[in-house]
Every structure is written in structure tokens, then in C-alpha cells.
Amino acid sequence: MLIKPIARNLKSKCRKYIFTSKRQDIEEDDEVIEEDPDFENYVEPVRESGYPYRELGDTDVRLLRIVPGTGPIECTLHQIPIAKVPAFWALSYVWGDATEKETITLEGKPFQVTKNLYGALHQFRQRPYDIGHPRDDFWIDAICINQDDPDERAHQVARMMEIYHTGLTIAWLGPIIEPRVDNFFKRLAHWPHGRRISRREALRVLFRKSRSMWSEWEPIDDDDNITVDEEFGDIFLDVCRAMTWLLCRPWFSRVWTIQEASVLAAPSIYIGRYRLHSSLLIDIFDILASVDHSLYLTPGGRRIMTLKLIQRLYFCIGTGRDDDPEKMDLAQVFMELIRCANKKESSDPRDQIYGLLGLLRFFKNEEMPEELKPNYRLPFEQVYWDYAVFMYQSPYGLGLLDCSVNDLPGVPSWVPDFRKAALGPTKRYKQSLRMSYDKRILHLQGCVMRPFHGFINGCNMAPIMPDREFIPGDLSKRLNEAEKRILKPSADIRGITVEEVFYEVYRDVLRIIDDDGTESFFEVYRRISRSSGGKRPWLSQRRRTTNVRLKEESLADQLSCGFLLFDNGTIMRLPKVCVEVQANDLICVFKGATKPSLIRPSGDAYVFISQCDVKNGPLKGQEFTDDFWADRDIQDFDLI
């Protein structure tokens, strides 16, 4: 399992945090702190106003101050060279729904902000012994950058890493929202065994225990057994549920929050009135996830992995190893950052790229080519195309083919949709690649593999995804189709059982989801495949554990993809969304690629369709080194 080394890595009382704090975290008050109507108003000194906006100098920043009070939120804004600022708070947050606006007063004038930012301003408005003292300056992108000026936005994007590393970062995850269950029977179906406490109380206990871990209690006993459930007692399930809810906050999914929390920017995390330093959140996550593996699958679980990978890349600087950023060119480092970042969200699709440029500049203090500098006047498809050309020409650029979506309009088939980019692990094979002068054709070398024997196309995942109350009939049909056309033929060819083939296909999923529990993975598969779908009986809803839920959802997720079957029983999965296979499609391996690819003839050239995940057979685990190519019939391929 992935959690095997956790006990060895964490069991130490004198541990060095990967993420170092710029300000010592203090104990959070148990009680909610109300705004004090008698708080003495602070007289703001005369400063040159930063609003209405005027042009920023190369080193200037605009900084916000929140005026104390209990009525409508009022703020001031001033403009100053960043070197003259003694200290300021850099706010990391999620804009939220752009249509949900609230109005504040900025320099005496109405100014609209999103509802989520309004909540953050209200939270930090009046805390004289903490963040929000009247003399505290804040840098908040939605206010401190003129969002109506695309040129200023483009210029400030390149500086954001500098700003977050200069300031003291705080992350606002939003208010604590208690779950609502309207129906008594639904409430009963959700009711856990043991004591029930509110989400707010569970988070308060979780944060308090996180601060005292290793000093007042140890989550690992002398035999290296995880004992965190014993420490929390009968509220452990509620704490895990609260942690899951916390890790599903939108902040953990946004692209901009990666650089705002990476390397030297180590934020304190605020959720409502409760606070925890990010290093402590990561520590308690590692412990809880060793017991509740489903935490790895949350947006926060994936983001914590991203931060660890970026930190690992940072520690490689100066080592002289192959993964030392100083030995890589600019495009290689950016490829590594794309790989670390995994799937992420942004309101503007161009920010899937621009949101990582601050990190790139941190690792490689080099100027980007002029055509790659942030330009919000370009359509995002053009931005993706330009960056794909840039990265493909790096020594290991063919790793970009390992993307689940690559069907953007008006661009070549090999341009990935970076909104869905989730690249696999780095493997360094010597590639043979040339780019045409007009940047429309990838000239590659490779070999054609044996033809596939059968296939099923991908499908939309939403109609087949089960929930607590309902099993879609389309999911049952999909499972039966996959067994009839892929799993059983593979088993018959190889002389093994369908169950053995099933576990070959789902081997990677089992690294996260335990096969133990009330039902094994195959038992869940067999139960759903034999059902006709429809509403679950009340007792079945009650007995549906988290482990069973994850298995059911994984069935839908994996089998929404297309699959290929070969005459030797080999199965390949097509991770591209809703791919439709045609009889004349070819399977080939390109020199420098890490996986086989599905391509489609188009005149004298080919259209790239999808890379293939090999699930079993001779190609499973195949390394495409020089030995592989020694006796292959190498051909030229033009991808358009």
C-alpha cells in the first residue's frame, strides 16, 4: 500500500517540517470572536490613493487596508514600491462565482467583489491581536490588480510568486457550513455509529489535536501502528468526515493556489474562525489518510501531493542529478511543473498555463520567449498551441501526449487541453521529433504494433455514475458490455478467469482502495452487473460504506473509458474522454514516448487519438529503451 512508509517517516518528536512557517502559529480560540463595536477607530494617515487605478511602476504594488467597524466594509488602497513595504499579508483564496457580487467601499467609492472575498474581508476586518489590525496591509489580486486592464494583468502574473514570497501568506477556505439533511429518513441513513458532533466542533478538535501532535500525544505507537483513531475516540468518524469536507474546499483545486502555497510560501489555513498552519495540516493528513485511504482521492489530497512533488523538485536544485532543475532547460522544468500540478481549475483557461509561470521563474530565473509571455488578448487555444510547441521540442517533450483530452478546435490533434492535463511519471527516453516550420506537423519515428482484435468505445461518465440512492441501469449495461467484449474474451484466450482479468484492469485502483471490507471489488462489480439498476432499498443505502462507494464510483470511472483487446489477450485502456475507435485505427509506439498511442490515418499523415494504458500482456511494464528498438521496423509518422 502507499501508506506503508508513513510510520517510518513521521515517527520523530524532533521533526523538520518541509514547509517552514514565516510566523509562529498560535493557539486558536475555541469560541467564535465577534466584532467589537467599541473597538477604537484607527485614524489612517494621509497616503496617495491607489484607486482609481493609475499605472503601476515596475516594482510597485497596491496594498489594501480594511477600515475597522461593524457596518458596511470600507477599505483604503495605496500604491508603493514593494521594497519599501515592511510587511503585508498576501491573501490566497478562491474568487468563487463571479455572478455573486457584494459591494464594498474602496477609497470612498463603491467597488464590487465576489461573495467569497467579501467573506474574507469581513473575517479579517477587526482582529486587533491577530490578522486584520488596522495597520495591516493586504495584497488581494482582485482589488490590487486592475482586472479590467489585460496588459496590467499579464505583467502582474509574472510577479505573483515574488509577491507571495515577500508577504506573509494566509489562505482563506471560506466559512464552515454544516451539512443539511432535510428528510428524517435520509438523516437516519447518514447517521454514523457512535457519538455525533457538528462539523464545526469536529474541525475545532482536529485543529487542536494537530497542534499538539507529537508534543502531547503520538499517533504512532512503539510497534509503528497508527493509533490516531484511539486518540479521537468515538468522534473519529466525524473528524474524518470533517477532514474530507475540508479537503474538498475549492481552494485545493484552483491553479493559482499552487504557487501561493509552494516552496517558501507556507500559508496559515483559515476555515471560518479556525486556523491551522499548512505544515500541520499536511502532517495530520498523512496520519488520517493512512487509516482512511479515501482522503487521497480528495482535491486536497491531490493538492498535498502536488506541493510535496514541487518541494521535492526544489530540494533537487544543485544536486547535479538528472532531475536537478539547474540541469534542465526551461521547457523541461515547465513540463515537470505541469506533471506535479496534475488537474487543476481556473476561471480563465489561459491561467492553466499562466498560473504556473511564477513557479517556473522561481526554478529557472530566465526570460520566457516573447511569444510565450502572458497575453490575455490571445484565445486560450492559441496559448495552449504555443506552449505545446515549446514543450514538445524539449528533450522529453513527448510526455505531453499523456493527456486525457486533446481535441481542441482549430489546433493540431497533438495539442493537449491543459485544463485536463494529468501527466504520468517521468521516463527519459531519447526521442526523435521535428516540428514543421508552420508548427502544424509533428514529424516522429516509431513502429506499428499488432492490430487490435476488438474494442468498446468510451462513454460519458455522468449517466453511469452511481450515488447513495440510485444505481443507473446504464452502468449495469456498461459492465456487461465490457465483460462480454473485453474481459471474458481476454480470459478465454489466456486460460484464466474473468475475476483475474478484472483485477489486472483495476490493479492501479487497488493501490488506494482496499479490496477488504463488506464486499470485495469483484463482488461489487458482480452485484452491479447482475442488477437491473434503479433505486436502492433503504437498508442497502444504510449499509453502503465509504469503501463500497469508492469501489462503485471507480467502476464507473474506469469503464467510462474505451478499451482495446488484442488477439493475445492484451487489454489497453484509452484514457481520452469519450474516444470513438475506428476499424482502421493503428496502435504504434513513438521513439521517446512512454506508452503506445492510438492514431488514425488521414491522407498521408495521421491524427493523434489517445495514448493507451497497457493493463496486461507482454507490453505491460515494457521499457521503450534502445533494446526495444533494436529489431523494430521503424517508420516515419506525421501527426497533424
3-state class (DSSP) for residue 238: helix
Q: Computed from CA positions of residues 381, 387, 389, 391, in that sequence, does the dihedral angle turn out positive or negative?
A: negative
pLDDT of res. 96: 84
User: In whole angstroms, how far apart are CA 252 and each of 108, 164, 197, 314, 493?
Assistant: 34, 17, 25, 21, 45
Q: What is the pLDDT of residue 632?
A: 92
- Residue 434 pairs in a beta bridge with 443
CB atoms within 10 A of CB 382: 17
- Whether 597 contacts 590, CB under 8 Å: yes
> Is the N-terminal amide bond of 52 cis, ω within 30° of 0?
yes
| Interval 619-633 mean pLDDT | 88
Average pLDDT rounded to a whole number, residues 539-556: 88
Are 143 and 78 a contacting pair, CB within 8 Å? no
CA 478 to chain centre: 28
Contacts of 548 by beta carbon, 8 Å cutoff, 6+ apart: 517, 518, 519, 524
pLDDT at 314: 94
Task: Specify which of 55-69, 131-145, 416-430 reaches the highest per-range mean pLDDT.
Answer: 55-69
The pLDDT assigned to 27 comes to 42
Asked if 172 contacts 92 with a C-beta cutoff of 8 angstroms, the reply is yes
Percentage, residues of the chain above pLDDT 70: 88
| Strands of 268-271's sheet in order across | 109-114, 101-106, 74-81, 60-67, 138-139, 89-92, 168-172, 268-271, 274-277
For range 174-191, the mean pLDDT: 63
CB 168 within 8 A of CB 22: yes
pLDDT band for 5, please (50, 70, 90 cuts).
very low
Spatial contact of 331 and 393, defined as CB atoms under 8 Å apart: yes
**What stretches of 495-601 show up as alpha helix (H) in DSSP?**
498-505, 521-529, 538-543, 546-559
Rounded-to-integer distance, Cα 624 and Cα 316, Å: 26
Question: Taking Cα atoms as reference points, which of 600, 577, 605 lies closest to residue 588?
Answer: 600
C-beta separation of 432 from 593 below 8 A: no
Query: Which SS3 state, helix, strand or coil, does residue 614 take?
Result: strand
Q: Residue 515: pLDDT band by 50, 70, 90 thresholds?
A: confident
Cβ atoms 321, 281 nearer than 8 A: no
- Looking at the DSSP bridge assignments, the partners of residue 275 are 270
Compute the distance between CA of residue 504 and CA of residue 487 in angstroms, rounded to an integer: 10
Supply the pLDDT for residue 182. 53
Counting other chains too, the contacts that 306-309 makes at CB distance below 8 Å and 24 or more residues apart are: 306/258, 306/340, 306/341, 306/342, 307/19, 307/258, 307/261, 307/262, 307/282, 308/18, 308/282, 309/339, 309/340
pLDDT of residue 212: 93
Q: How far is CA 321 from the centre of its chain?
A: 27
Check pLDDT > 90 for residue 471: yes
Residue 33 has pLDDT above 90, yes or no: no
Dihedral sign, CA of 499, 501, 504, 507? negative
Extract the C-alpha cell encoding 49: 490613493
Residue 95's nearest CA partner among 115, 110, 77 is 115
Residues with Cβ within 8 Å of residue 628, at least 6 apart in sequence: 589, 622
- The three cell numbers of residue 356 are 504556473
**39, pLDDT greater than 60:** no
CA distance 89 to 364: 26
Q: Measuring CA to CA, which residue among 503, 547, 506 is closest to residue 291? A: 547
Instruction: Note the pLDDT of residue 159.
Output: 87
E strand or H helix at 268, and its extent?
A: strand 268-271
* pLDDT value at residue 40: 55
Residue-wise pLDDT for 390-415, tens only, equals 999 888 888 888 877 778 899 999 99
Query: Rounded mean pLDDT of 69-78?
Result: 92
pLDDT tens figures, 200-249: 999 999 999 999 999 899 888 887 888 888 888 889 999 999 999 999 99
**In the predicted model, what is the mean pLDDT of residues 485-491?**
96
Q: Alpha-carbon distance 636 to 406, whole Å?
A: 22
Q: What pLDDT does residue 32 have? A: 46
Sheet holding 562-566, edge to edge: 452-456, 562-566, 571-574, 613-614
What pairs with residue 562 in β-bridges?
A: 574
Task: Return the amino acid letter for 550.
Answer: L
What is the arithmetic mean of pLDDT over 10-18? Answer: 39
Tell me 126's DSSP state. Answer: S
Task: Give the position of cell 466525524.
Answer: 238
Give the three cell numbers for residue 276. 491551522
The pLDDT of residue 273 is 86
Contacts of 437 (CB under 8 A, 6+ apart): none
CB atoms under 10 Å from CB of 553, counted, come to 16
Residue of 233, 248, 253, 240 lying closest to 287 (CA atoms):
240
SS3 597: strand
State pLDDT tens for residues 329-347: 999 999 999 999 988 999 8
The DSSP call for residue 370 is G
User: What is the per-residue pLDDT for 18?
Assistant: 33
pTM (2 decimals)? 0.85
Question: Confidence class of residue 192 from pLDDT cuts 50, 70 and 90?
Answer: very low
| Higher pLDDT pick, 76 / 542 | 76
Cα–Cα distance measured from residue 462 to residue 243, given in angstroms and rounded to the nearest whole number: 26
Cell 479490496 belongs to residue: 515
- CA pair distance 114, 396, nearest whole angstrom: 41
Task: Assess contact for 364 and 264: CB atoms under 8 A.
Answer: no
Determine the pLDDT at residue 546. Answer: 84
For the segment 508-520, the average pLDDT, to the nearest whole number, is 85
| Average pLDDT of the chain to the nearest whole number | 86
Of the pLDDT bands very low, low, confident and very high (cuts 50, 70, 90), residue 126 is low
- DSSP H helices in 290-405: 299-315, 330-341, 351-354, 357-363, 380-392
